[in-house]
Amino acid sequence: MQSDATKDPTTVTLVNISTEKWPPRQRTYFGSLDVRSPAAGEAYAITAIHNCTAVMDLGDKRTMDIRISAREIAEDLAREINGDSGEGSFHGVFVAAGLEPTEAELADARRRLEEFQRRLVAAADLEWERTKNPMFITDLERRAARQLGLEKPWLYDPKPLAECPVCAEKIKPGVAVCKSCGAILDREKAAQYGLVTPKRTRRERSDASAETDGAGK
Ligand SMILES: [Zn+2]
């Protein structure tokens, strides 16, 4: 089996125009690989991809070396990073034809990325229209709006659920009373709704016996 090594460049350029940091890519034939992201002021970042040899197990303790070209590996990585986010999914990673990306290649990537981001924002707008619930807006959609520099009512991050210090049940931010164990989490707010008697002074807080005195009046 004659390989085509002479025609195939041994190094191929994987280009990333997104500032997103991707988790390292794992492959049995090269281990772990970081796809670089552009630093501040950079329009793109380059990760050089090299040819690899994979060892294929044929059974009976026989193995065969399989050469995987740099281009195959780069295309595979680009597909993996770009894919999986729905129609037109593109996250800004592509394989350059040469060792440096051309202006045309970069412009094409920017157009595809913006198109995809606009699609995400449109989906979020629709969701917001229907539900007015920021929990239904995905991180991907928020990121798209931020990168496009758009102001959206759904753009703020939902507060993460906190934990009740008494029973460790997940509680929504700002609740006065834990619905699971009844612990008072915000005395002032609970008092406002008549759930507990308000404390009048700071001193009373350190002196629990004083609590009943002032409250009856
Ligand atoms: Zn609780």
pLDDT at 5: 43
pLDDT at 146: 92
Using the mean position of ligand 1's atoms as its centre, give its distance from the Cα of residue 177 in Å. 8
pLDDT at 135: 87
Using the mean position of ligand 1's atoms as its centre, give its distance from the Cα of residue 162 in Å. 11
Using the mean position of ligand 1's atoms as its centre, give its distance from the Cα of residue 206 in Å. 22
Using the mean position of ligand 1's atoms as its centre, give its distance from the Cα of residue 2 in Å. 69
Average pLDDT over every residue of 91-99: 95
Q: Output the pTM of the full model.
A: 0.65
Using the mean position of ligand 1's atoms as its centre, give its distance from the Cα of residue 142 in Å. 32
Using the mean position of ligand 1's atoms as its centre, give its distance from the Cα of residue 171 in Å. 8
pLDDT at 91: 94
Q: Which position has the token pair 């609740």?
A: 175
Using the mean position of ligand 1's atoms as its centre, give its distance from the Cα of residue 189 in Å. 16
Using the mean position of ligand 1's atoms as its centre, give its distance from the Cα of residue 190 in Å. 14
Three state DSSP letters for 156-197: CCCCCCEECCCCCCEECCCCCECCCCCCECCHHHHHHCCCCC
Share of the chain above pLDDT 90, in %: 57
The radius of gyration computed from the CA coordinates of the chain, to the nearest angstrom, equals 28
Q: How far is CA 37 from CA 25, 46, 129, 143, in A?
A: 14, 8, 34, 16
List the single range of 39-53, 152-166, 183-197 with lowest mean pLDDT.
Answer: 152-166
pLDDT at 56: 87
Strand (E) positions, the chain?
11-16, 25-27, 31-33, 45-50, 52-59, 62-68, 93-95, 162-163, 170-171
Using the mean position of ligand 1's atoms as its centre, give its distance from the Cα of residue 166 in Å. 5
pLDDT tens readout for residues 99-109: 999 999 999 99
> Residue 43's pLDDT band (boundaries 50, 70, 90)?
very high
Average pLDDT in the chain: 86
Using the mean position of ligand 1's atoms as its centre, give its distance from the Cα of residue 176 in Å. 11
Using the mean position of ligand 1's atoms as its centre, give its distance from the Cα of residue 193 in Å. 19
Higher pLDDT, 19 or 160: 19
Using the mean position of ligand 1's atoms as its centre, give its distance from the Cα of residue 86 in Å. 39
pLDDT at 170: 86
On the question of pLDDT at 148 being above 60, the answer is: yes
Average pLDDT over every residue of 120-126: 96
Is residue 196 a contact partner of residue 187, using CB atoms and an 8 Å limit?
yes
